Amino acid sequence: MKLLPFTFKINDDLCLINTLKIDLKNQRSETRNKRPEIRNQESGIRNQESGIRNHPCLAILGPVGSGKSLLIKLLADSNLHEIAAYSDYPFCAYLSQDLTRLFTGNSIASLLEIYQDKRYSVGQHFNKTLFDTVAEKFELTQLIKENRRLMHYSEGERQRLGISLAAAVEAKVTILDEPTTALNIKHRLALYDMIREMKSRTKVIIISHRFLDCLSVADHFIRMENLEIKEHFTLKEIIEKEHILSYYLG
């Protein structure tokens, strides 16, 4: 079945992440088109996977180019449909990092029409009432009424629309990749509230280079570096991680 941009299948059993570090390296190498190998390797992460699984919001930290988005793309199976290992997992809502690629040319009304089309997987999971509630929170109601072409909205307005769409897709896992791009502080705080509410019905995975985003919503953290997961820890443990604090606070 062909899936729409915001919705992919995902493995919600995060213990598989430890096998992904091998795949990530393959992805970035010259043999990009080769089928990535999946090896079962025991590691600390696997042993403590139940700990990770119990936390409703997971944040992925790491410097630019450390593989955060790549990990998410692999989990969300967006461009690796040949990896059968991830294909049996439930549906997930996905807010991509690069909205303009998904949006250009459509009006909001036509986009909403596609999102409500029951022929697609996304249509079967899309909740219009939920969308309206979230859109109101992000001050989008007037903009939606105007129904301009999407390219005529500003990046911040498109970002808020993207967040509302992803939040209105009812799935076991919701992935938000840099959701606070182009948002002002007021809308960022609204987003934090939204994520806290969402946690009761879906697992949230958030990537953000803004440390405040992760601190405000996440219960558990993964730190990546050079395409590998270096460590994982809970929110309480973060105050002891001096290397992370000095990285973000200078």
Partner 1 sequence: MKIKNAHLTHSSGPLGQDLHLKAGEITLLGGDSGSGKTSLMLCISGFKDLKAGEMEPAPQAVAMLLQNPFHQIIMQKAYDELLFPMKNAGMADGEAQAELSKIANMLKIEHLLDRDMNTLSFGETQLLMIAATCLSPANIYCFDEATSHLDPPYIKLFYAVLRYLADKNKIILASTQSLDEYAFADNVIILNKGSIQDVYSKAEWKNQLKKASIKTDRQLIINKLEGLAK
Q: Residues 18 to 47: which contact partner 1 by CB under 8 A?
A: 28, 32
Dist. CA 16–CA 232, nearest whole Å:
14
Which residue number, 69 or 121, has a Cβ lying nearer to partner 1? 69
Check residue 192 for interaction with partner 1 (CB under 8 A): no
Residue of 155, 193, 197, 201 interacting with partner 1 (CB under 8 A) = 155
Dist. CA 178–CA 96, nearest whole Å:
8
Check residue 149 for interaction with partner 1 (CB under 8 A): no
Check residue 209 for interaction with partner 1 (CB under 8 A): yes
**Site track 161-190 with partner 1 (rule: CB under 8 A), x = hit:** -----------------x--xxxxxxx---
Minimum Å gap between C-beta 247 and partner 1 is 7
Q: What is the CA radius of gyration of the chain?
A: 18
Check residue 212 for interaction with partner 1 (CB under 8 A): yes
Check residue 243 for interaction with partner 1 (CB under 8 A): no
Dist. CA 189–CA 43, nearest whole Å:
36
Interacting stretch for partner 1, rule CB under 8 A, among 10-18, 108-116, 119-127, 230-238? 230-238
Check residue 105 for interaction with partner 1 (CB under 8 A): no
Check residue 106 for interaction with partner 1 (CB under 8 A): no
Minimum Å gap between C-beta 128 and partner 1 is 24
Check residue 69 for interaction with partner 1 (CB under 8 A): yes
Minimum Å gap between C-beta 33 and partner 1 is 12
Residue of 65, 85, 117, 193 interacting with partner 1 (CB under 8 A) = 65
3-state helix/strand/coil string of the chain: CCCCCCEEECCCCHHHHHHHHHHHHHHHCCCCCCCCCCCCCCCHHHHCHHHHHCCCEEEEECCCCCCHHHHHHHHHCCCCCCCHHHCCCCEEEEECCCCHHHHCCCEHHHHHHHHCCCCCHHHHHECHHHHHHHHHHCCCHHHHHHCCEHHHCCHHHHHHHHHHHHHHECCCEEEEECCCCCCCHHHHHHHHHHHHHHCCCCEEEEECCCHHHHHHHCCEEEEEECCEEEEEEECHHHHHCHHHHHHHHC
Check residue 102 for interaction with partner 1 (CB under 8 A): no
- Chain residues binding partner 1 by CB under 8 A are 28, 32, 63-65, 67-70, 97-98, 100-101, 153-157, 159-160, 178, 181-187, 209-212, 215-216, 235-236, 238-239, 245, 247-250
